[in-house]
Every structure is written in C-alpha cells, then in structure tokens.
Amino acid sequence: MSVLKEELEKLLELQTLDIKLLEINAQLKQIPDQIKMLEKEDALLKKELEEFDKTFTHLKVERRQKDSELKAIEQQIETLQSRLYEVKTNKEYQALQKEIENLKEKKSSHEDEIILLMEKEEQFREKEKQLQEKAEEYKKEKAKKQTELENAINQLKETRNLLEQQRQAYVSRIDGVILELYTRVRKAKKDGIAICKITKDSNGNICSGCYVYIPGHLTEKIKRKSEIVQCENCGRILTE
C-alpha cells in the first residue's frame, strides 16, 4: 500500500518539525531562568558592596574619633606644660611631669593606632575601587547578556512561528486517523518520538524508540505496509 508508505513518510517529516518545536520551547522556557540568574548575581554584588561600605564607614568613624582624641591629648599636654612654670613645689612639679609623661605615652599609642587605621583605610580604598570596578564591569556584561538573551527569545519565537506555519501545512496533508494516532502516541512520550524506524542487528530488528526486538511477524507487517504497526513494547508507530 503505497498510500500508507507516503503517510508514514509525511509523519516522519512532521515529527522532525515537532522535535524542532519541542527543542525551541525547551530553550524558550530556560531563558527567563538565565535572566533571573543575571539579576541574582547583580543583587549579590550590590549586597557585597553595601556590606563593605558599612565596614569602611565604621573604620573611618573610628579613625576620626582617634584623631579627635589625639588632639585632646595634645591640648592636655600643652596645658599641663604651661602649668609647669606656675607650680610652687618640687613635688607638684614632679607630679605634673609624671602626668605629662603618661599623656605622652597615651599620645604615642594613639598615633600608632592611627597609623594602623590609616593603613587599613588605604587597603579599604583599594578594595572599594576593585569592588566598584567589578560592579561596573558586571553591569555592562549583564546588559550585554540580557540583550543577547532577548534577541535569542525573539529569534526563537520567529523560528517557532515559521515552524508552526509549516506544521499546519503538513498536518492538512496527513490522513486524519493516522494523525490522531500519532498525536496520541506522542503525548505519552517524553522525548516526543511517536514514530520511529526499525534498525537491524545480528539478532533481528529493533525498535529504535525503546530498543526492544521486534517479533518476526511484526517485521513482516512493517515491510508489507498494508497497515499501521505499533511497537508491542512502547507503542510507537514503526516504519522501515
């Protein structure tokens, strides 16, 4: 039956279109997730920069505080030093000297701390610059990737429209009963394969959909092409 042979060939072509459509839809489904990932990465970078700024601000406040403490200590030393000339007794003089010494020690340790804080600040400024550059770079990269993904969506949709138009044309040329069977089998298959060719190995013929051997009488029926044959194992339509 040459008619059935033609119908099966048309089904195979239809299936090629359907598989392409399946792939396109899978790709289209993935893209929003990819866009979401870009946003997520962006948010992470922003958070990192915010956290960093907080610590940096804290450090700057700490240094300002130390600076003003240092100024206060210096003033105290000055005041005490001017009083040295006013004291009457040796004991008072020594007490004052001792106090000045203590303050000078305090001043010196404050100066050390300030130097450390300044060094730290320098490192932070460097790190801040790096983070800002990283954020800036990512912003550009993100915009570029977003455009690419949006273009991909448009292109995929365009291809899908074309394929759907082609599909309509095919479908109208296929026998209704055969098409219905194809649609039914296809719905049940995750890979979207409803019709497949048989392949041969040394032990016999195999269904290329489920890789199970096909009994000889079925192979004969397939070759005769007088009726539609489905795989006894997976239900797919079989063809030569």
**What's the min distance (Å) between Cβ of 220 and Zn ion?**
17
Residue 179 Cβ, how far from Zn ion at the closest point, in Å?
20
| Cα 171 to Cα 21: distance, rounded to the nearest angstrom | 14
Give me the least distance between CB of 235 and Zn ion, in Å please. Answer: 7
Strand pairing partners for 219? none
Using DSSP, state whether 199 is helix, strand or coil.
strand
Subset of residues 194 to 223 that bind Zn ion, contact rule: CB under 5 A:
207, 209-210
DSSP string, 108-174: HHHHHHHHHHHHHHHHHHHHHHHHHHHHHHHHHHHHHHHHHHHHHHHHHHHHHHHHHHHHHHHHHHS
State the number of binding residues for Zn ion (CB under 5 A): 6
Q: How far is the CB of 207 from Zn ion (least distance, A)?
A: 3
Measured from the CB atom, the residue of 156 and 210 that comes closer to Zn ion is 210
Interface residue with Zn ion, options 109, 151, 233, 240 (CB under 5 A):
233
Q: How far is residue 93's CA from residue 24's CA, in Å, rounded to a whole number?
A: 93
Interface stretch with Zn ion, choices 11-19, 69-77, 159-167, 229-237 (CB under 5 A): 229-237
Closest distance of CB 19 from Zn ion, Å:
17
Among positions 119-158, residues that touch Zn ion (CB under 5 A) are none
Tokens encoding 43: 């948010």
Report whether 198 contacts 220 (CB < 8 A).
Answer: no
Residue 234 binds Zn ion (CB under 5 A):
yes
Pairing outcome for strands 195-201 and 237-239: parallel
Q: Extract the tokens encoding 76.
A: 């105290």
C-beta of 46 vs 223, nearer to Zn ion: 223
Query: Which positions touch Zn ion (CB under 5 A)?
Result: 207, 209-210, 231, 233-234
